[in-house]
Amino acid sequence: MQQASLDHRFPFSFEQLVEIREERYKNLHIWDMFAAAILLKEDDTGDLRTREYKLLIKTALPLFAQKLLANGEALACYEVTTLDRKKREYRSETVLRIVNSAINFTERALYAPDGTDRSKRHIDIEANVRIPAIGRAIEKLIVYEFKEQSAVDCERILKFAAERYPRP
């Protein structure tokens, strides 16, 4: 198993960061990772809102190859987001399991305020590949690719914020 943690800071409010994070599902062309975001379930009690999504992953693989990797379905991950309005925290957990769960990837992120008009994101990832002889190498590759993609994601958030919330 390989693990990594990343931290990002943003020059805008927590509320804007949450709004930008939620826009991910509506503007898939900007984030360029998913072909579709399907809301499976939503609960909102006022202080706590939880949403469950199925995210279809964009890939160049033909559908039959995706189905081989993902137990007969299109390649997808599952994500649960929780907005705690009282604590002012937004959490997401994304899970990807492929090849009959021989490859597992989990991302846990916490979005929170970071002072006045600033926000932050902390991400923990875990890759676990149970394939003899090459599992460790695949885990390292997954973690490396995630770190690279996370930097790109951070830049997209900053760009989206600059376009959506221009500063005077």
pLDDT at 96 (0 to 100): 86
Options 3.40.50.1360, 2.40.30.20, 3.30.530.20, 3.30.200.20; which CATH number does 2-164 get?
Answer: 3.30.530.20
Q: Which residues does the chain have with pLDDT short of 50?
A: none
Signed CA dihedral, 82, 95, 158, 112: sign only: positive
User: Tens of pLDDT along 99-144?
Assistant: 677 888 999 999 999 988 899 999 999 999 888 888 888 888 888 8
- For the chain, the domains span 2-164
> pTM of the full predicted structure?
0.86
pLDDT at 134 (0 to 100): 84
pLDDT at 165 (0 to 100): 78
Q: What backbone torsions phi and psi does residue 139 show, to the nearest 5 degrees?
A: -60, -45
Residues constituting the chain: 168
81 by DSSP, 3-state: which?
strand
Q: What is the CA radius of gyration of the chain?
A: 17
